[in-house]
C-alpha cells in the first residue's frame, strides 16, 4: 500500500526544469532513499510534497486519494512532516515550546501538558531530550531531534529528512538510525535524502535515483552495490583521486604554529598549546571527532578568531594581531565550513565569486561588471558549477554553493588552503572533484590543512596526519604509519603519541 504517490511531477524554475515528469511512491513502513548528484532535484521534489513549492504539472496522492498541497498546512493536515537541513527553531525558547509552537488552537498554552506529551514522544522513539532545555543550549544533533519531535507531535505518518546526517557526528548518526527504525516499526514511512552510499545501503529499503531532474528508477536496496548506485547517479565517469602525482621536490616549512591557544564562544579553552608545521606541497590532515577544537583552529588560522597565546607565522611573517583581511592577503585561504555563512544568498553567483577580492575588479572606486562576469564564467566552467553568473546564490543546490566557495578561495592561489569538512553534503562525483582540487593545490606547492571526520578521506589524501582531542594535538603520524585503528585510538583520547 502506497502512502504517497507522486505522478509525473514537473517543476520549472524559469527555464530550468528541476523535476521532469518524476514518479515517486512511498510504501507504508519503509525507509526510501532519494539519491542523486548535487542539483538533481531531490530537495525540490520533497519541497513539493511538503507544500513549499507548487508543481507545474503532475499529481499527488496520499493513501490513494488525490490531494492538493498548496502549503505546509495542507501537508501537515495530510500527516506529512519534513525536517530540513536548516532548522526552523526558536533558540530562546524551550524544547516543549518549540514543539507545540504553531500547533495549538488554545489561546493559553498548557505548558505542563505540552511538556509531558513531548516527554512521552521522546521516550517512545528514543529521542533523548529534556523538554525544558533551552534550544539555544542544544547541539546540532539535539536540535535535529527537536525537529523530528515537532513533526511527530503534529501526527506525521510520513517523515521527510533532507540530508539529516550531513550535520551529525558518527555517534549521532547511529542514534538517528535507531530512531528511524523505531518509527518504521510503528508503521511510519520515511524519505531519506543522503549522499552517503553506506548510509543509504545500511538503513533504506528502496532507493529512487534522480539525475538531471528525471527519475532513473526505483530499486530494492538489497539488490544494489555502491558501484552500481554511483554509476546510476553520475553521468560522466567520476574523477579518480590520484594521490601519487608529482612528488614535490624540495619541501620547506611554510606555516609555523607555536603554542597556540584560543577560547570558544563561551569563553572556555578550545585550543590548548597547539604546535604544528605545514610544509609546501603537503596535505596535513587533521583527524578528530568534531567538537574537539577543529572549528576554532580553522577560525584562528584565518584570523576570524583571536588567539589568547602563541604565534602563527606564515612564510616568515607573524600574523597574530592582524585582521582577517590581512590573513587573506598574506596567503591564508579558508573554505568556509558553514556554507550559508560563506555566501550572501541574495547576491548573485558572480558577485559572490568576486566577494573577497573586489579590489581586483575596481578602478578608482568603480566596479568593472564585465570583468566580474568574465571571471565568473571562467570559474563556472573550471569548477563545473551548475548555475549562471546572474543566478542568486539562494537558488543553487547545496553542492553547487560549495563549489562557488571553493572556486572563490582557490582562484586566489593561497599559500595555505584551510579546508574544514570540504566534502560534507557533496555527492560522490563532487566529493571526488573537491579532493582532486585539494591535491592540485598541494601539487602546485601550497600547504593544505584538511580537517575532516571522514577517516577514509584523511587517509586517502594526507601526507601527514595530526589528531586533535580536547583542543590538543595528541599525535602526528606520517601517512605511511597511520591506519584507522591507530587514528581511532588517538581520537578517543585513549593514547597519546608524538
Q: How far is it, in rounded angstroms, from Cα 205 to Cα 120?
A: 28
Q: How far is it, in rounded angstroms, from Cα 188 to Cα 27?
A: 9
Q: Is there a contact between 466 and 287 (Cβ–Cβ < 8 Å)?
A: yes
Told to check if 36 binds ligand ATP by CB under 6 A, we report yes
Told to check if 214 binds ligand ATP by CB under 6 A, we report no
Q: C-beta of 83: minimal distance to Mg ion in Å?
A: 13
Q: C-beta of 210: minimal distance to Mg ion in Å?
A: 10
Owner of C-alpha cell 508503521 = 187
- Residues pairing with 367 in the sheet: 362
415's contact among ligand ATP, Mg ion, none, with CB below 5 to 8 A by partner kind, is none
Q: Is there a contact between 229 and 210 (Cβ–Cβ < 8 Å)?
A: no
Which residue's beta carbon is nearest to the bound Mg ion? 43
Q: C-beta of 121: minimal distance to ligand ATP in Å?
A: 29
End-to-end Cα, the chain, rounded Å? 59
Which residues ranging from 397 to 416 are in contact with ligand ATP (CB under 6 A)?
A: 397-399
Told to check if 429 binds ligand ATP by CB under 6 A, we report no
Q: Is 245 exposed, middle or buried (0-12, 13-18, 19+ CB in 10 A)?
A: exposed
Q: C-beta of 13: minimal distance to ligand ATP in Å?
A: 3
Q: Which is nearer to ligand ATP, 100 or 434 (CB)?
A: 434
| φ, ψ dihedrals at 132, nearest 5° | -90, -10
The one-character DSSP state at 450 is: E
Q: Tell me the angle at which helices 226-233 and 428-443 cross, rounded to the nearest 10 degrees.
A: 90
Cell of 300: 584562528
Cell of 376: 565568473
Q: C-beta of 36: minimal distance to Mg ion in Å?
A: 9
399's contact among ligand ATP, Mg ion, none, with CB below 5 to 8 A by partner kind, is ligand ATP
Told to check if 84 binds ligand ATP by CB under 6 A, we report no
Q: Which is nearer to ligand ATP, 397 or 452 (CB)?
A: 397
Told to check if 40 binds ligand ATP by CB under 6 A, we report yes
Which residues ranging from 289 to 348 are in contact with ligand ATP (CB under 6 A)?
A: none
38's contact among Mg ion, ligand ATP, none, with CB below 5 to 8 A by partner kind, is ligand ATP
Told to check if 18 binds ligand ATP by CB under 6 A, we report yes
185's contact among Mg ion, ligand ATP, none, with CB below 5 to 8 A by partner kind, is none
40's contact among Mg ion, ligand ATP, none, with CB below 5 to 8 A by partner kind, is ligand ATP
Told to check if 33 binds ligand ATP by CB under 6 A, we report no
Cell of 302: 584565518
DSSP string computed for 178-237:
HHHHHHHHTT-EEEEE-S-HHHHHHH-SEEEEEETTEEEEEEEGGG--HHHHHHHH-SSP
Each residue 357-396 as x (binds ligand ATP by CB under 6 A) or -, in order, gives: -----------------------------x--------xx
The one-character DSSP state at 355 is: G
Tell me which residues touch Mg ion (CB under 5 A): 43
Angle at CA 299, nearest 5°, toward 295 and 301? Answer: 120
Q: Which is nearer to Mg ion, 43 or 437 (CB)?
A: 43
* The binder of ligand ATP chosen from 41, 51, 164, 285 (CB under 6 A): 41
Q: How far is it, in rounded angstroms, from Cα 463 to Cα 452?
A: 14
Q: Under the rule (CB under 6 A), what is the footprint of ligand ATP? A: 13, 16, 18, 36, 38-44, 386, 395-399
Amino acid at each position: 500500500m502506497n502512502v504517497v504517490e507522486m505522478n509525473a511531477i514537473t517543476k520549472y524554475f524559469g527555464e530550468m526544469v528541476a523535476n521532469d515528469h518524476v514518479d515517486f511512491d512511498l510504501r507504508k513502513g519503509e525507509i526510501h532513499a532519494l539519491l542523486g548528484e548535487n542539483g538533481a532535484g531531490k530537495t525540490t521534489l520533497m519541497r513539493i510534497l511538503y507544500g513549499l513549492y507548487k508543481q507545474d504539472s503532475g499529481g499527488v496522492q496520499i493513501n490513494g486519494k488525490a490531494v492538493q498541497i498548496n502549503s505546509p498546512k495542507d501537508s501537515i493536515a495530510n500527516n506529512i512532516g519534513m525536517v530540513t537541513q536548516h532548522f526552523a527553531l526558536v533558540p530562546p525558547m524551550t524544547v516543549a515550546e518549540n514543539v507545540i509552537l504553531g500547533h495549538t488552537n488554545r489561546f493559553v498554552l498548557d505548558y505542563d501538558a505540552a511538556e509531558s506529551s513531548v516527554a512521552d514522544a521522546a521516550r517512545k522513539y528514543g529521542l533523548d531530550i529534556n523538554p525544558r532545555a533551552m534550544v539555544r543550549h542544544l547541539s546540532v544533533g539535539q536540535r535535529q531531534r527537536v525537529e523530528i519531535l515537532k513533526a511527530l507531535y503534529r501526527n506525521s505518518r510520513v517523515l521527510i529528512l533532507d540530508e539529516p546526517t550531513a550535520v551529525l557526528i558518527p555517534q549521532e548518526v547511529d542514534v538517528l538510525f535507531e530512531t528511524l527504525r523505531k518509527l518504521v516499526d510503528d508503521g511510519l514511512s520515511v524519505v531519506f535524502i543522503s549522499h552517503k552510499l553506506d548510509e543509504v545501503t545500511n538503513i533504506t529499503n528502496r532507493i529512487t535515483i534522480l539525475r538531471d531532474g528525471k527519475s532513473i528508477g526505483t530499486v530494492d536496496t538489497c539488490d544494489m552495490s555502491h558501484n552500481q548506485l554511483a554509476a546510476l547517479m553520475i553521468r560522466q565517469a567520476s574523477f579518480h583521486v590520484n594521490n601519487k602525482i608529482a612528488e614535490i621536490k624540495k619541501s620547506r616549512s611554510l606555516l609555523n604554529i607555536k603554542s597556540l591557544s584560543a577560547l570558544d564562544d563561551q569563553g572556555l579553552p578550545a585550543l590548548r598549546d597547539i604546535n604544528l608545521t605545514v610544509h609546501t606541497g603537503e596535505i596535513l590532515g587533521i583527524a578528530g571527532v568534531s567538537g574537539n577544537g577543529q572549528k576554532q583552529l580553522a577560525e584562528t588560522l584565518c584570523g576570524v578568531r583571536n588567539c589568547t597565546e602563541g604565534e602563527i607565522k606564515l612564510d616568515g611573517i607573524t600574523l597574530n594581531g592582524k585582521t582577517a583581511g590581512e590573513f587573506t592577503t598574506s596567503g591564508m585561504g579558508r573554505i568556509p565550513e558553514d556554507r550559508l555563512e560563506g555566501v550572501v544568498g541574495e547576491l548573485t553567483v558572480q558577485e559572490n565569486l568576486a566577494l573577497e577580492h573586489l579590489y581586483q575588479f575596481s578602478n578608482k572606486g568603480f566596479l568593472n561588471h564585465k570583468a566580474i562576469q568574465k571571471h565568473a564564467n571562467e570559474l563556472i566552467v573550471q569548477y563545473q558549477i551548475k548555475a549562471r553568473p546572474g543566478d542568486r546564490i539562494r537558488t543553487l543546490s547545496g553542492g553547487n554553493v560549495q563549489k562557488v566557495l571553493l572556486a572563490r578561495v582557490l582562484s586566489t592561489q593561497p599559500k595555505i588552503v584551510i579546508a574544514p569538512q570540504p566534502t560534507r553534503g557533496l555527492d560522490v562525483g563532487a566529493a571526488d572533484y573537491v579532493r582532486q582540487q585539494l591535491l592540485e593545490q598541494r601539487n602546485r606547492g601550497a600547504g593544505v590543512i584538511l580537517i575532516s571526520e571522514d577517516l577514509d578521506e584523511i587517509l586517502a589524501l594526507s601526507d601527514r596526519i595530526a589528531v586533535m582531542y580536547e583542543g590538543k594535538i595528541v599525535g602526528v603520524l606520517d601517512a605511511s604509519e597511520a591506519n584507522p585503528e591507530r587514528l581511532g585510538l588517538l581520537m578517543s583520547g585513549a593514547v597519546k603519541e608524538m
